[in-house]
Amino acid sequence: MSTVTTTKPAPTAPGPAPVADTHGEGRIGLRGNLRHIGALVRRNALQIKQDPESMFDVVFMPIIFTLLFVFVFGGAISGKGNQSDYVNYVVPGLMAMMGMNIAMGVGTGVNDDFKKGVMDRFRSMPIARSSVLIAKILVELGRMMVAIAILLAVGFLLGLSIKGPVLGLFLSIGLSAVFGASLMWIFVLLGLTMKTPQAVQGMAMMVLMPLQFGSSIFAPPTTMPGWLQSFTDYNPLSNLADAARSLINGTPVGDSVWMTLIWSLAITAVTMPLAVRKFRQKT
């Protein structure tokens, strides 16, 4: 007669249970937030690597816009045959335009992620809710820097010259990045609010068109009617375009730099908390 002995496994000390982030990121420290943001940035960057077509707008938009505006409007504004003079006017303004157009893509991307169920995966992870949005902003800023680099390369080929200190060029790029990041929070909020990516894009175009063409990006405001000049004076895109133009051309910047920074801080202070709160409600 044989006996069967069963050995019970020794009890193991229970490990720390994962803490679900049910109340935002209150229990997650700064190091954890940074780690989550880094991992999500890498994820978004790998998505771009797997889908190179997502970079088409960044690569071709600066080329098409620069060639279009220089050779269509340049002769009318600077005189026939003097398009090279218009390059130093419009290219700094287009830096502001790049930020707005790329920011629109952030909103449609966030909305599309919800449609595809990507956000459902994040919902089950003990990660800071804001890290998902911040990582997306950082990746889009990287795309924006690529667009500005291509824009400047085309500008130099068409005759763009740095008449001020080279530092002014880098300051204008940094200023464009700061303002572009603030605009991205607006479109993230739109992406979280609207029902479809098409609705986000339609709403964005209603905002973008008046701001872009009612500014000093393409033409001096002195050629506009008085009522439109008043709108242009308060348009944040005009402040950014004037600041970048002055920094690159070595002319007095006046209050345009400070006004751009104030606009950027104000937009971010209002829209970032609203976007994070909306994201928490949806996840």
Q: What is the pLDDT of residues 208-220, one digit of tens each?
A: 888 888 898 988 8
- Answer whether residue 83 is part of any domain: yes
Q: Which domain holds residue 56?
A: 30-282
CA torsion sign for 32, 33, 38, 40 is positive
- Answer whether residue 35 is part of any domain: yes
CA nearest to 200, candidates 66, 110, 90, 276: 110
pLDDT value at residue 283: 66
Report the number of distinct structural domains present in the chain.
1
- Answer whether residue 111 is part of any domain: yes
Q: What backbone torsions phi and psi does residue 188 show, to the nearest 5 degrees?
A: -60, -45
Q: Which residues of the chain have pLDDT under 50?
A: 1-26
pLDDT value at residue 206: 86
pLDDT value at residue 20: 41
pLDDT value at residue 107: 84
Percentages of the chain per state (helix, strand, coil), in multiples of 5: 75, 0, 25
- Answer whether residue 12 is part of any domain: no
- Answer whether residue 236 is part of any domain: yes
Instruction: Name the pTM for this structure.
Output: 0.81
- Answer whether residue 249 is part of any domain: yes
- Answer whether residue 139 is part of any domain: yes
- Answer whether residue 277 is part of any domain: yes
pLDDT value at residue 23: 43
